[in-house]
Structure 1
Amino acid sequence: MVEQTQPDSTLPHRPYRGVLAVQVIALVLLVGASLLGQFALFLEVPLCVAAMAAFTIFWPFRGTWTDRVLGVLAGLISLVFALNALGSGTLYPSLNANDALTIAATPLIHWACVYVMLLALFTVIGFARQMARKERTDLLRSLSQSLTGMVAMASMPGWLFVVVAASCVSFTGPGTWVAIAVSVIALALMVLMVIASRFWLKDFDPDPAVPAPWVGIALLPVMLLGLVAFAATLALLLCQYGPIFVD
């Protein structure tokens, strides 16, 4: 007689409708906030902070509080340098520029440099932490999950730069069709990331002690899409002010 196995009631509930609802609400708020002109950052900054806080609480990976603290640290550093790039520029060298493209794109380039340095730094830290473990079981999984959390947190402030495109880019002129193509590609990537989260929801293995880790899975693509928002903004600026498209 074959013994029938009962479903494990300790497994986390994984409601895809809830995941989709969180993602749609977050994306609508982030994109909508960027259209508020000079008031955009007053809403986008709290949204970014709230998303990073929720991701930390509902951490969707197995790991220790050290992983979460490092993720928070990466996110806060990225956020500070993004705000400084969009604001005073105190943390960056002064730039005397005359052409519109350089003036508009400089904040994005500054933050991109900081982002790359953050990735390098936290990759080294993550690898060193794994090498320091006495038992190095599931080494690759632990390293990849820890780095994924840090990358997601550091990427979230990329959403702040959408306000640059919203204020500087107009869909008229020689680069109109290219700008439309960039926007369509960004939207397609957004949809693909949302679809991918359904597969992540089936396969992820969170810490049983974490409450509602599916919220973290829902926020993961939203946070990673900060890089897409940043790249799309930079591409739109090139379409607007690039020498190829300027008369």
Structure 2
Amino acid sequence: MGHRVRNGLLAQAVWYVGMVVLSLVFPSSTEAGVGIGYVPMAMMILLVLGRYWPLRTGDAGRVIAVAFGVLSMLAASRLVTLLPVTPDGKPWIGWALVAGVLLVLLTIVSFGRQMAREDRNHLIRSLSHGVIAGTACIAAFGWTFLPALLGYATAGHAAAWVALAVIAALAVAMGLASVFWMREVDAGPDASLPEYGVALLPVMLLGVAVPAALMLVAPFLG
């Protein structure tokens, strides 16, 4: 295993451990659902991705992706409880709806940006890289609701434990897949340590699994 892969896997492990620790140190009630302790960790992951950008999107694509991540962070804050579409005690539903809208807007903005280019070489690659990066930045803030899922689990709900086990299995599977991605990464010529960015992309994308799990296990929570 090369140093690039080791560095990337270490970054994944540190992020997962840090996220769980924050969820335990700053638990949310299942009624509130939003774990404020995770926000600094999520902001850090945006900064790391912005610094060690592994995709060929250009500076504009980087700014767009991080901007959509910030909007997702706002949607994951307690502001989401003010939305009329957010059921009482289930802010992850409001976040999921906002995230869906952000994904549509991201696609429109990314496509419009590519169409506005005079030089459209590698258009498909640039478009796909931009959408992947933006989607990861949006999805990362789904992890904000991990304290709520942990809260249901520690309250004795077996369905929540099953959901956590599935998420852990997905994390391992995506970690194994990222080994190949880190080996084959084709970052831009000015990229610095792109393995960190590649390693964090699957972690960020997996964020959608947390609110999805909360919605799926809701009928079993009583």
Task: Provide TM-score, normalisation by structure 2.
Answer: 0.88
Match 1:123 to one of 107, 128, 141: 107
Structure 1 residue 198 displacement after superposition = 0.8
Q: What is the distance in 2 between the residues matched to 1:94 and 1:188?
A: 31
Unpaired segments ≥5 residues, structure 1? 1-12, 96-101, 242-247
1:158-197 aligned at under 5 Å gives the runs 158-170=142-154, 172=156, 176=158, 178-197=159-178
Q: Please list the CA deviations of residues 73-125 of structure 1 after superposition, one character each: whole Å capped at 9, or x if unmatched.
A: 10000001110356xx34x1287xxxxxx5332x1111111100000011011
- 1:200 aligned residue: 181
Task: Give the unaligned 5+ runs of structure 2.
Answer: none
Q: Tell me the distance in 1 between the aligned counterparts of 2:177 and 2:59.
A: 26
Q: CA offsets per residue over residues 45-65 of structure 1, 9 Å max, x none?
A: 110000011101111111211
Q: 1:41 to 1:172 in 2, by over 3 A?
A: closer
* Map 1:32-181 → 2, pairs under 5 A: 32-36=21-25, 37-38=27-28, 41-85=35-79, 89-90=81-82, 92-93=83-84, 102-105=87-90, 107-170=91-154, 172=156, 176=158, 178-181=159-162
Structural mapping, 1:219-230, within 5 Å: 219-230=200-211
2:6 alignment counterpart: 17
Return 163-172 or 226-235, whichever deviates more.
163-172
Asked if the contact 1:171–1:179 (Cα under 8 Å) also holds between the matched residues in 2, the reply is: no
Rg (Cα) greater in structure: 1
Q: Which amino acid aligns with 2:84?
A: P
Residue-by-residue CA offset, 1:131-163 (whole Å, 9 max, x unaligned)? 122222222111100110000111111110111
Conserved? CA contact 2:69–2:134, under 8 Å: yes
Amino acid at match of 2:117: R
Query: How far did 1:172 drift?
Result: 3.5
Compared CA separation, residues 94 and 220, structure 1 to 2 (3 A): closer
Residue correspondences, number:
216
Counterpart CA distance in 2 for 1:18 and 1:157 is 23
Deviates more, 1:32-41 or 1:141-150: 32-41
How many angstroms apart in 1 are the aligned matches of 2:85 and 2:102?
Answer: 22
Q: 1:223, CA displacement in angstroms? A: 0.9
Contact residue 16 and residue 201 of structure 1 kept, 8 A: yes
SS at match of 2:60: helix
Please say if residues 165 and 237 of structure 1, whose CA atoms lie closer than 8 Å, have aligned partners that are also in contact.
no
- Say whether the 8 Å CA contact 2:146–2:210 is kept in structure 1: yes
Look up the SS of the partner of 2:119 in the other structure. Answer: coil
- Does the C-alpha gap of structure 1 residues 94 and 118 become closer, same or farther in structure 2, counting only changes over 3 Å? closer
Asked if structure 2 preserves the Cα contact closer than 8 Å seen for 1:75 and 1:153, the reply is yes
Q: CA RMSD in A?
A: 2.2
The separation in 2 between residues aligned to 1:144 and 1:123, in whole angstroms, is 10
Change (3 A) 1:197 1:142: same
